[in-house]
Structure 1
Amino acid sequence: MATLPFPEYAHFDATGLADLIRRNELSVREVGEAAMARIERYNPALNAVVHKLYDQLDVWTQQPVAGPLAGVPFLLKDLNTAFKGAPLTAGSRALRHRVAHADSAYVRRVRAAGLVVLGLTNTPEFALMGVTEPEAYGPTRNPWQTAHTPGGSSGGAAAAVAAGMVPMAGASDGGGSIRIPAACCALFGLKPSRGRVSAAPEYGEIWQGASVPHVVSRSVRDSAAMLDLLQGAEPGDPYVITPPKRPYADEVRQEVEPLRIGWSVAHPLPQGDVHPDCQQAVAKAVRMLKEAGHTVEEVPLPWEGVQVTDAYLMMYFGEVAATVRQLRGDLGGPARPGDIEEATFTMALLGETFTAGDFAETRRQWNAIARRFGAFHERYDLMLTPTLAQPPLRVGQNQLKGMERLGLKVLNRMGAGKLLRKSGVVWDTAKKNLQAVPYTQVANLCGLPAMSVPLHWTAAGLPCGAQFIGRFGAEDVLLRLAAQLERQAPWFARRPPDYAE
């Protein structure tokens, strides 16, 4: 392999690179070329970046450097964050020719920060899976062990950051899609509160408000700095959340007040199994929290797992149906089997069988779930759980097998949505897949901020995360605690062995 320019590039986070550029110790071009070199070197094995936008480096080097993160390389998730003139495929072959005609609010703020967007990252079709294996682009692999998934749906972003292609990357979280890949790739991942980061202009609420955009990063301070830049409502947003008392970048330097934290490693679903290493991630967090002077108690989970799963899946199938309906504009007519993945088409068929009353009735459960969590937060500042119930899955482990795929193909061509619903097969399969990721969806339904912190690795070298869920609007508490944990057990310098150069 060729020698990398500026080999120390991956030793810096975004804040550190911005400081070097600001002090003229490095140029924007030097940093950008280092990022592109790492993408060219490592992406073939990982398939994290699916669209390259290297011309943006030329654009940036022809104008004055401006913005708090000016000149720092960045990648966008190929989903919802529209970058004018770039593809916007959402991981689907049905949208392979779609190009963004204007910047989203997220991208406008990324540009204002001075970040140099060098590409778009892989995501499962329409962000529907907790693994990143779209048929349109192929699977993304985990830099820690390439036989395993980096998670999803922000798996391409997480793999790119873990491999040192960029110090942080755009991500979004509608059911764990920031926290799951952060846990799989030993990154820091914060899902903000509902309404903290705008989805304008195309969306007011994505997935009924369950989904929120942000980033995955290696350092806590980068996540805090980006939240300062991204947070705040746009005109017409359905929520205007109370702004932070002070910049989040300042929070990571503050002392952490003693917190009262409840923890559990119980599986939320019947017959669910929590891997010992995922339990160890929580056990290590508990020890560290006690050493830091926090009050930590084992508690029952403050939500009922089946209720959360059923409420989440109703929204999920309904939103898939709506997304597939909207493809009419791009396809020139209704989506047909073959335009999209078989599993996606099946979920859309199932979603079409539910009535408006079914959807509204289940949507009301979100409030009941949030009230239970609100009662928990009357006594405790944070809830601690494993991020995942299992270490990163093997690539392809959740893919449909031959006969399963054939069966779906036949039912899809029959348009047999009611038969699918009556059989319960799709609903039961979805619940089975959630057995490995049962802890994240509740924060999305409740609109609560939550984070995954990388504190444990298996004997085989696979990361396992610990998840903290805070009160609504309490990103400041989470970031202060994350920075404290980062100081206690620094993870920034620990990188996948094959990508440590």
Structure 2
Amino acid sequence: MTDTLDNPQVMSWDEWFAHDGLGLAARIKAGEITAEEVASQAARAINGVNSEISGVIEVFEDAVADSTVNGANPQGAFAGLPFLMKDLGPTVAGRLQEQGSFYLQGNRPQSDAFLTTRIKEAGLNIIGRTTTPEFGCCSSAENPAMYVTRNPWDTGFTSCGSSAGSSVMVGAGVLPLAHGTDGGGSIRIPAGCCGAIGLKSSRGTFSIAPVNSDFTSVVSTQGCISRTVRDTAAFVDNCRGGAPGEFMPFWHPEKPFLEQIKADPKPLKIAVSHEWGPYAATPHIAAELTRVAEFFESLGHHVEFVTPEVDFEKAYAAQTTCYISNFAQVVNNLLRMKGLETPPEDLFEPMNIRIWEQGKDISYTTRADMQLDFNTTARAFGAVYQDWDILLTPTTARETPAIGTTEYLTITETPSALDWFQNLWGFFAYTPLNNLCGTPGMSLPLAAHANGLPLGMQIHAAIGNDGLLLQLAAQVERAIDGKWNQGHLPKVHVTKLG
């Protein structure tokens, strides 16, 4: 990266961090700076922090030097703004996508996914790829043989995941927004752990074409991690929509989200909870939830603690069946690529092999029973939203793990995939059921753990009410004068670069 780092820096790091994505795009459109100058400064930022937090696998130097080389539309909403893609999900033509796996080293797709084309049309210049656990299947990008992504607030702790690298780069101020995927909380959880904003959109927002199955991949969605509500709104407005032939009824709001967030929502009825069946938040997290609930009340909303009438044990069991069977088929498809019958132990992480063994022969009847439980759970949450506009929970139920905590990782020696997932749900209790039901959830950096690490608070709404979440988040952002994380910055941050 010597060529790009030799270019002059166009603004101070304090000025850099003071801009969100649309703010930088406005300066590019006004001719004050070029997209290439912004990309060069982003590359400099990556170079300055990546050795400490290990969030970026590769920088595309040609895209830094020329903001249009990947096909970014200079007339798009983001005007050539540099952007990082998670190394999982939508493919980028000609660029490596290795999904955090030794098995996929050297995998270079030759075509763009449909969402990638939307990202480029929005004017986002893809300049690199970010870390993820193997196939996105675990809580953190933490395999010492591959890479260990660290939390910018304290590098002795994980970033969580699976959108790990994108979250640490946004958290450290490197870029205003970056790509993420969310199949059970993988945008919201690391955003919450790294002090960023993470929206999991309603089902039917973003394309999953062409690789993912219309019928089995609907629990997972795409999105971004950002520092401002308007950047998230602009990303959804400009990147949503289905590819020709996708079966879901892809929907669009009557008014763009960027317009909706300019006004505060009406006074809302907000239900607050953290005791979900077998899982509950720690006492400190529960206390932070109460504090944040009181803050929402101070904004004029009616706030009340409520326990949703949902069969949580059945819901989590169905979620486990979904994950085990879906991931087993992901592994099956990868094995077919190379004509293999079983996953090589030296190329696959241990828990992913156990998930494959557990799930590869699951019957259609088991899957049909799972779908019935999905249906029951979705209807139960639907009933909650008949009485309440918003559900407020923590994003996670336990403390952010220290680096080296293997119980949530796919490098663990835990013998049972079922036991492993049940333990995961104890940590990520409040995120996966949005994926099961298709409902939106948004993690906001409004709280902190006892040790000072960020703690996300999650607002949920009925399916299709993403605009209401964004409206409420924008109201909060205005109320705190944009000072998320109570105005604190992480130890590893661009404003601390020389």
Tell me, yes or no, whether TM beats 0.5.
yes
CA displacement at 1:206 relative to structure 2: 7.9
In the TM superposition, residue 498 of structure 1 has moved relative to its aligned partner by: 3.2
Range with bigger deviation, 175-184 or 294-303? 294-303
C-alpha displacement at 1:368, in angstroms? 0.3
CA deviations over 1:377-420 (Å, ceiling 9, x no partner): 1111111111100231112213489x973x85xxxxxxxxxxxx
Which deviations, in whole Å up to 9, do the C-alpha atoms of 1:428-449 show, x marking residues without a partner?
A: 2321232111111111100001
What does residue 366 of structure 1 align with?
374
Residue 188 (str. 1) matches residue 182 (str. 2): no
Structure 1, 32-41 or 329-338: larger mean CA deviation: 329-338
Where in structure 2 are the equivalents of 1:331-410 lying within 5 Å?
A: 331-334=338-341, 335-399=343-407, 405=413
Aligned to 1:100: 109
**CA–CA separation in structure 1 for the residues paired with 2:311 and 2:23:** 43
Q: Is the 8 A contact 2:351 2:412 kept in 1?
A: no
Structure 1 residue 58 and structure 2 residue 65: aligned?
yes
Quote the Cα distance in structure 1 between the aligned partners of 2:351 and 2:144: 11
Segments of structure 1 that go 5 or more residues without pairing to the other structure are 409-424
Deviation at 1:269, TM superposition (A): 4.2
| Structure 2: distance between partners of 1:35 and 1:340 | 33
Q: Assess, with a 3 A threshold, how the Cα gap between structure 1 residues 479 and 84 changes in structure 2: closer, same or farther.
A: same
1:498 to 474, 492, 496: 492
Match of 1:461 in 2: 452
**Shift in Å, 1:168:** 0.4
- What is the aligned residue count? 482
User: Are residue 41 (structure 1) and residue 48 (structure 2) matched?
Assistant: yes
Partner of 1:411: none
Distance of 2:177 and 2:146 partners within structure 1 = 22
Deviates more, 1:11-20 or 1:195-204: 195-204
CA drift of 1:136 comes to 5.8
Give percent identity, aligned residues only. Answer: 32
Task: For residue 214 of structure 1, give the secondary structure of its aligned residue in structure 2.
Answer: strand
> Once the 2 structures are TM-superposed, how far is the Cα of residue 286 of structure 1 from its aligned partner?
1.1
Structure 1 residues 474 and 350: alpha-carbon distance in aligned structure 2, compared to 1, 3 A threshold: same
Structure 2 residue corresponding to 1:472, chosen from 463, 468, 488? 463
Partner AA of 2:193 in structure 1: C
**TM-score, normalised with respect to structure 2:** 0.92
Deviations 1:127-155 (A, max 9, x none): 11122224663221110111111111101
**Cα deviations by residue, 1:339-371 (Å, 9 ceiling, x for unpaired):** 211111011101124222112211221000001
What letter corresponds to residue 9 of structure 1 in structure 2?
A: W
Distance 1:352 1:202 in 2: 19
Name the aligned partner's letter for residue 390 of structure 2.
L
Cα-to-partner distance string for 1:6-45 (whole Å, 9 max, x where unaligned): 2222221101100111111212122111100010110111
Deviation at 1:495, TM superposition (A): 2.3
The secondary structure found in structure 2 opposite 1:148 is strand
Structure 2 segments unaligned to the other structure (5+ residues): none
Output the CA distance in 1 between the equivalents of 2:412 and 2:140: 19
Deviation at 1:276, TM superposition (A): 3.1
| Structure 1 range deviating more: 353-362 or 329-338 | 329-338
Contact 1:169 1:217 in 2 (8 A): yes
Question: Per the alignment, in what secondary structure is the counterpart of residue 50 of structure 1?
Answer: strand
The two structures, once aligned, show a CA RMSD in angstroms of 2.3
Equivalent in the alignment of 2:178: 169
Write the distance in 2 (CA, Å) between the matches of 1:206 and 1:107: 21
Give the C-alpha shift of residue 214 in structure 1.
0.6
Cα contact 2:264–2:474 (8 A) shared by 1: no
CA distance change for structure 1 residues 312 and 464 in 2, over 3 Å: closer, same or farther? Answer: same
Matches within 5 A, 1:191-340: 191-205=200-214, 207-266=216-275, 268-270=276-278, 272-334=279-341, 335-340=343-348
Take 1:400 and 1:258, find their aligned partners in 2: how far apart are those partners?
A: 39
**Which of 476, 482, 485 matches 1:485?**
476
CA distance 1:136–1:95, shift in 2 (3 Å):
farther
Whole-angstrom CA distance in 2 between matches of 1:343 and 1:375: 36
Equivalent positions of 1:106-145 (< 5 A) are 106-134=115-143, 137-145=146-154
1:64–1:78 CA distance, 2 compared to 1 (3 A): closer
User: Which consecutive aligned stretches of 4+ in structure 1 deviate over 4 angstroms post-superposition?
Assistant: 1-5, 61-64
Cα distance in 1, alignment partners of residues 448 and 459 from structure 2: 18
Q: How far apart, in 2, do the equivalents of 1:186 and 1:88 lie?
A: 27
